[in-house]
């Protein structure tokens, strides 16, 4: 079975959109973090698809960089979330009221 | 299958190596002997690494003068005068911040060298951004810069606001990075490469039948950059993060993030997407108008020095972006000149805010500055000069910076845009002057004196000296900026 490349791109765009929508609407810091990860993985899928259609290996190499960055970001992010949680016992971004955004 | 290893021109990446090397050495030293590595060692290492980077910049400048601009590491890193100057500005800002942070840490009883490790690593990311010639390297630079800064923002354990600011910065920063890299993926799909030179070459030699992919990619890249430099409407994080972060960190962020992000933005827009000038100009136009106007007007109602400076920096981001909008060699030179003068000014400004903030780093109401210049003429006078420079008063660097940007924009046919920016500067003048007047108010003469430690004092003196000397005599800096861009444009 041969799936056209465009489908992968559309899937990636949809995943990216779900991630972005989640970041903008969800209130829990952890879920926002997961949504950012979803967006990064949508990007990975896009890179791999283009790498395939362009017959260019560099798109696949880039995916490794993005993965490493995503992992580093999660590490730092969870650290910050834990630090905030210790003080507040909540991960909801609505309760971050000390700074008036 | 053979794998060719790209050749590396080590001089080109020497400043980045110094910063990373210093960060790793400090980290290793702390891990091996926890108690022997004091704050003093950390500060000394950061300052030495910065000086080493500046010396390397000098040799890079000579190298470029001799052999011309070049790329290395498989064309992903570029060595040209633009990168050299931007790196030097970053190195100077980092050295100044390290000294301010030293006194801050002593006051707040922060021990250990983690602050310096993170600052060095972040700065390495900023340096990488100035030299990046590939969207992926820009992305890595942004991430290295940001990940260190997220932790630095959360560094003040005594204030809950510091953690909140870090969480906000992290969530929005991660979101912006994801948008940026998706833009890079789309540009890759449209042009077949993420290398800026290759993208530029592709767009110069091919006619895109369906440019939607490229346009979408470019727009997402712009959104990512706009988040990083806090351009309106992507600025909402910036006042909160500026307020919540420890004040020396705020100064560092204001300086190196702007320099790194704008250097990369110039490369992406002028170098890679220069052929698409007519497409990205309207977007930039909107960003400039919104940033200058919203930055200036929102600052009017701020009663907190750090928030006020945050909105002022949004206004400045709009001005710096003006130079990019011009899209000409003159505009790029103006952008670079603006960054060269803005970075030391803003670091010195936040140094003063750090001192006035007092122990606990939380007294930042403008009221606190009432009569400061009467009690302590030198400190108050220094702040007045720095504020006047940000306002763009003549005889300070701020004046010439604003003037060159506006001249470049008018030259490129943006009269209306220049007028709007100028009006926003007039509005901004109101809050800068109001603050400066507060300094000279004659009541409250009995308020406590602000301690001025030696290192912070010398940083403030350096910032004021740079502002005044090059304000009166901007020639050398302007020549450097022009020289740096003539070679840069492909």
Q: What percent of chain A has pLDDT over 70?
A: 86
Inter-chain residue contact B174 with A54, CB threshold 8 Å: no
Inter-chain residue contact B185 with A53, CB threshold 8 Å: no
What residues contact residue B447 under an 8 Å CB cut-off, 6+ apart?
Answer: B370, B371, B375
Domain range summary for chain A, segments of one domain joined by +: 5-91
Tokens of A64: 């490794």
* Residue A99 pLDDT exceeds 60: no
In three-state secondary structure terms, B374 is helix
> What's the mean pLDDT in B439-453?
78
- In Å, the largest CA–CA distance within chain A is 56
What residues contact residue B135 under an 8 Å CB cut-off, 6+ apart?
Answer: B184, B187, B188, B194, B195, B196, B221, B268
Number of domains chain B is built from: 1
The predicted pLDDT at position B135 comes to: 95
Which of A58, A76, A98 minimises the CB distance to B170?
A: A76
Domain annotation covers residue B282: yes
Provide the chain B residues 147-176 that lie in CB contact (below 8 A) with chain A.
147, 150-151, 154, 160-161, 163-168, 170-171, 174-175
Inter-chain residue contact B170 with A77, CB threshold 8 Å: yes
Q: How confident is the model at residue A101 (pLDDT cuts 50, 70, 90)?
A: very low
Q: What share of chain A is helix, strand, coil (3-state, %, to 5)?
A: 80, 0, 20
The predicted pLDDT at position B1 comes to: 58
The predicted pLDDT at position A91 comes to: 65
Domain annotation covers residue B4: no
Per-residue model confidence as pLDDT tens digits over A34-69 = 999 999 999 999 999 999 999 989 999 999 999 999
Inter-chain residue contact B143 with A42, CB threshold 8 Å: no
Neighbours of A60 (CB within 10 A): 14
Inter-chain residue contact A101 with B168, CB threshold 8 Å: yes
Per-residue model confidence as pLDDT tens digits over B214-236 = 999 999 999 999 999 999 899 99
Chain B hits for A62, CB-CB cut-off 8 Å, are 136, 188, 194
Q: What is the pTM of this model?
A: 0.94
Size of interface A-B (CB pairs under 8 A): 116
Domain annotation covers residue B413: yes
Domain annotation covers residue B426: yes
Nearest CA in chain A to B146: A73
Q: For tokens 């928030």, name the residue.
A: B307
Q: How far apart are CA B31 and CA B269, in angstroms?
A: 43
Per-residue model confidence as pLDDT tens digits over B300-320 = 999 999 999 999 999 999 999
Mutate to test the interface with A, among B136, B159, B167, B311 (most CBs of A within 10 A): B167
Q: What is the ipTM of this complex?
A: 0.93
Q: Give one word for B75, left, alpha or beta, with left for phi > 0 and alpha for psi -120 to 50.
A: left
Domain annotation covers residue B93: yes
The verdict on A48 touching B (C-beta cutoff 8 Å) is no
Q: How confident is the model at residue B125 (pLDDT cuts 50, 70, 90)?
A: very high
Q: What is the 3-state secondary structure (H, E, C) of B260-326?
A: HHHHHHHHHHHHHCHHHHHHHHHHHHHHHHHHHHHHHHHHHCCCEHHHHHHHHHHHHHHHHHHHHHH
The verdict on B182 touching A (C-beta cutoff 8 Å) is yes
Is the sign of the CA dihedral B265, B266, B268, B274 positive or negative?
positive
The predicted pLDDT at position B462 comes to: 96
Asked whether B279 and B268 are in contact (CB, 8 A), the reply is no
* Residue A97 pLDDT exceeds 60: no
* Residue B388 pLDDT exceeds 70: yes
The verdict on A63 touching B (C-beta cutoff 8 Å) is no
The verdict on B6 touching A (C-beta cutoff 8 Å) is no
Per-residue model confidence as pLDDT tens digits over B139-163 = 999 999 999 999 999 988 888 889 8
C-alpha B101, offset from chain centre: 17
What A10-18 contacts at long range (C-beta under 8 Å, 24+ apart), as own/partner pairs, is: A11/A45, A12/A42, A12/A43, A12/A45, A12/A46, A12/A49, A13/A42, A13/A46, A15/A39, A15/A41, A15/A42, A15/A45, A16/A42, A16/A43, A16/A46, A16/B178, A16/B182
Which of A46, A56, A80 minimises the CB distance to B192?
A: A56
The verdict on B179 touching A (C-beta cutoff 8 Å) is yes
Tokens of B38: 């004091």
Element (H, E) at B71: strand B70-72
Per-residue model confidence as pLDDT tens digits over B409-438 = 999 988 899 999 999 999 999 999 999 998
φ and ψ at residue B71, rounded to 5 degrees = -115, 155
Lowest mean pLDDT among A15-19, B46-50, B68-72, B484-488: B484-488
Domain that holds residue B424: 10-488
Which of B290, B448, B299 shows the shortest CA–CA distance to B369? B448
Average pLDDT over chain A, rounded to an integer: 88
* Residue B386 pLDDT exceeds 50: yes
The verdict on A15 touching B (C-beta cutoff 8 Å) is no
What residues contact residue B6 under an 8 Å CB cut-off, 6+ apart?
Answer: B72, B73, B74, B76
Tokens of B151: 């932790």
Highest CATH level, class, for A5-91: mainly alpha
CA distance B170 to chain A (A): 7
Q: How far apart are CA B131 and CA B45, in angstroms?
A: 23
In this structure, chain B runs to a length of: 490
> What's the mean pLDDT in B47-68?
93
């Amino acid at each position: 079975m041969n799936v056209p490349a465009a489908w992968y791109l559309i899937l990636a765009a949809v995943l990216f959109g779900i991630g972005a929508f989640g970041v903008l609407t969800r209130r829990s810091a952890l879920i926002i973090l997961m949504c950012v990860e979803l967006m990064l993985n949508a990007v990975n899928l896009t890179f791999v698809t283009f790498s395939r259609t362009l017959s260019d290996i560099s798109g696949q190499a880039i995916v490794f960089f993005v993965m490493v960055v995503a992992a580093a970001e999660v590490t730092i992010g969870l650290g910050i979330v834990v630090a905030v949680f210790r003080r507040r016992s909540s991960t909801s971004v609505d309760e971050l009221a000390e700074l008036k955004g | 299958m053979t794998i060719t290893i790209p050749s590396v021109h080590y001089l080109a990446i020497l400043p980045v190596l110094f910063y990373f090397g210093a960060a790793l050495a400090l980290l290793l030293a702390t891990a091996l002997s926890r108690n022997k590595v004091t704050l003093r060692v950390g500060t000394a290492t950061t300052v030495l690494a910065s000086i080493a980077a500046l010396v390397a910049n000098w040799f890079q400048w000579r190298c470029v003068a001799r052999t011309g601009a070049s790329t290395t590491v498989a064309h992903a890193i570029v060595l040209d005068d633009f990168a050299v100057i931007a790196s030097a500005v970053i190195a100077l800002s980092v050295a100044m911040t390290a000294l301010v942070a030293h006194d801050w840490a002593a006051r707040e009883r922060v021990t250990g060298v983690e602050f310096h490790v993170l600052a060095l690593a972040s700065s390495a990311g900023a340096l990488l951004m100035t030299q990046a010639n590939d969207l992926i390297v820009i992305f890595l630079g942004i991430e290295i810069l940001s990940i260190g800064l997220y932790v630095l923002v959360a560094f003040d354990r005594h204030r809950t606001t510091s953690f909140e600011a870090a969480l906000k910065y992290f969530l929005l920063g991660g979101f912006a990075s994801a948008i940026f890299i998706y833009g890079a993926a789309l540009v890759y799909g449209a042009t077949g490469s993420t290398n800026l030179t290759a993208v530029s070459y592709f767009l110069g030699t091919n006619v895109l039948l369906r440019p939607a992919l490229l346009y979408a990619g470019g727009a997402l890249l712009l959104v990512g950059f706009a988040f990083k430099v806090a351009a309106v409407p992507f600025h909402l994080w910036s006042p909160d993060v500026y307020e919540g972060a420890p004040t020396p960190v705020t100064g560092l962020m204001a300086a190196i993030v702007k320099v790194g992000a704008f250097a990369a933005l110039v490369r992406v827009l002028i170098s890679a997407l220069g052929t698409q000038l007519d497409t990205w100009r309207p977007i930039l136009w909107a960003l400039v108008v919104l940033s200058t106007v919203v930055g200036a007007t929102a600052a009017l109602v701020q009663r907190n020095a750090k928030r006020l400076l945050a909105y002022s920096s949004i206004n400045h981001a709009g001005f710096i972006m003006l130079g990019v909008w011009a899209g000409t060699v003159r505009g790029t030179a103006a952008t670079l000149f603006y960054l060269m003068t803005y970075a030391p000014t803003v670091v010195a400004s936040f140094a003063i805010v750090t001192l006035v903030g007092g122990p606990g780093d939380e007294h930042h109401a403008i009221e606190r500055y009432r009569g400061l210049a009467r009690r302590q003429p030198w400190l108050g006078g220094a702040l007045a000069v720095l504020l006047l420079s940000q306002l763009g008063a003549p005889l300070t660097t701020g004046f010439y910076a604003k003037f060159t940007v506006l001249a470049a924009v008018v030259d490129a046919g943006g009269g209306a845009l220049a007028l709007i920016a100028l009006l926003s500067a007039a509005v901004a003048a109101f809050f800068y002057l109001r603050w400066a007047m507060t300094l000279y108010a004659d009541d409250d003469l009995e308020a406590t004196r602000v301690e001025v430690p030696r290192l912070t004092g010398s940083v403030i003196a350096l910032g004021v000296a740079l502002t005044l000397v090059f304000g009166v005599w901007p020639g050398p800096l302007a020549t450097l900026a022009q020289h740096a861009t003539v070679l840069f444009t492909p």
